[in-house]
Amino acid sequence: MVSAVPSLIGLDWGSTSLRAWLIGPEGIVLDERKADKGASALSGHGAFLAAFDDVAGAWRTAHADLPVLACGMVGSAHGWLDVPYLRCPAGAAALAAGLRGPDGGPHIVPGVLFDDTSLPPDVMRGEETQVAGALHLHETLRTSSCIVLPGTHSKWAQVCDERIVRFATHMTGELYAVLREHSVLGRLMPEDAPVDPDAFVQGVDAARDHGELGLPHQMFAARSLGVTGKLPHEMLADYLSGLLIGHELRAGLQWRAMAGLGSRPLALVGAPQLCARYQVALHRFGRPADLVLDNTAPAGLFALAREAGLLPLEKR
């Protein structure tokens, strides 16, 4: 625990997990806690209040009157309080103005809705705060950039003038999980296989070079390569991972280029191991990320709290 005066308690309260940070000047993390109390497992004001007290109560007692900011699915219709989505373009000022909070609970950052074309709408809750954090930390991303947040539901966000102007969700992580656990593809994959970078790259390259054959076809190779003995069974899971991430990059990089952002900075934000996978894949596509950032949610919560005027004035 770093010794400094805390400015803020920040929460990233997702569907399945809850992370809390004691945050100091300029968004520095002084202390961290995790709890197995995702929003989807909780129901009713009392349950959320108890989880909130469990994860942040000690900090709130030790540091009276600290502001508390939360982001994520805690602000969804099935969360603690349904905080209305903010429409794109969405920047820090609008996000700060959209904060809502339940009685006795944290201020909750609104999610963001993209819905201004003939395409289906898209939604995010939590990632808008990570984008705000990336912009807070890196000036180079503010004018125009593409920020990629890999995960269960990866988000690709286009930033223009410090605002999210457009974004797209890719269900890559969840697709991998359900195929591995519930489809015929998982049957050949041993549970304890070590990570195989070669197999991963083979999958990425298959998506890059032959993606037009379609993902529903190409994924069958994660079985046929095993059945025919062309790839050891221990390599099949990473082949599938590479194939799925490759399809995400294939579509995402084209989407980014179509928006005229092909030469603008590209940043990866998220868990280091997953970002490393995406960076390897981006290299295979000839377009490595310019920045690879660990979780920027604490920085984002700090930036939004400051924007909302919740921090002591000397911190501004």
Positions touching its own copies (CB under 8 A) are: 77, 113, 115, 119-123, 153-154, 168-172, 174-175, 178-179, 181-185, 206, 210, 212-221, 224-225, 227-228, 230, 244, 247-248, 250-252, 254-255
Q: Which is nearer to its own copies, 40 or 140 (CB)?
A: 40
Minimum CB distance to its own copies, residue 113 (Å)? 7
Minimum CB distance to its own copies, residue 237 (Å)? 15
How far, in Å, CA of 10 to CA of 309, rounded?
15
Q: Which is nearer to its own copies, 119 or 195 (CB)?
A: 119
Could you tell me the sign of the dihedral formed by the alpha carbons of 181, 186, 192, 197, in that order? negative
Q: Which is nearer to its own copies, 66 or 249 (CB)?
A: 249
Q: Which is nearer to its own copies, 1 or 258 (CB)?
A: 258
Q: Which helix (H) or strand (E) holds 289?
A: none
> Cβ distance 95 to 132 under 8 Å?
yes
Minimum CB distance to its own copies, residue 66 (Å)? 33
> Cβ distance 108 to 122 under 8 Å?
no
Minimum CB distance to its own copies, residue 308 (Å)? 26
Q: Which is nearer to its own copies, 46 or 120 (CB)?
A: 120
Q: Which helix (H) or strand (E) holds 115?
A: none
Minimum CB distance to its own copies, residue 62 (Å)? 38
Minimum CB distance to its own copies, residue 264 (Å)? 20
Phi and psi dihedrals of 254, rounded to 5?
A: -70, -40
Phi and psi dihedrals of 38, rounded to 5?
A: -65, 155
Minimum CB distance to its own copies, residue 178 (Å)? 5
Distance in angstroms between the alpha carbons of the first and the last residue of the chain? 24
Q: Which is nearer to its own copies, 61 or 118 (CB)?
A: 118
197: three-class secondary structure by DSSP:
helix
Closest by CA position to 92, among listed 128, 140, 125: 128
- Residues 213-220: contacts with CB under 8 Å, at least 24 apart: 215/243, 215/244, 215/247, 218/243, 218/247, 219/179, 219/185, 219/243, 219/244, 220/185
Q: Which is nearer to its own copies, 56 or 266 (CB)?
A: 266
How far, in Å, CA of 18 to CA of 25, rounded?
22
Q: Which is nearer to its own copies, 129 or 172 (CB)?
A: 172
Q: Which helix (H) or strand (E) holds 19?
A: strand 18-23
Buried b (16+ CB within 10 A) or exposed e, 21-36: bbbbeebbbbeebebe
Minimum CB distance to its own copies, residue 213 (Å)? 6
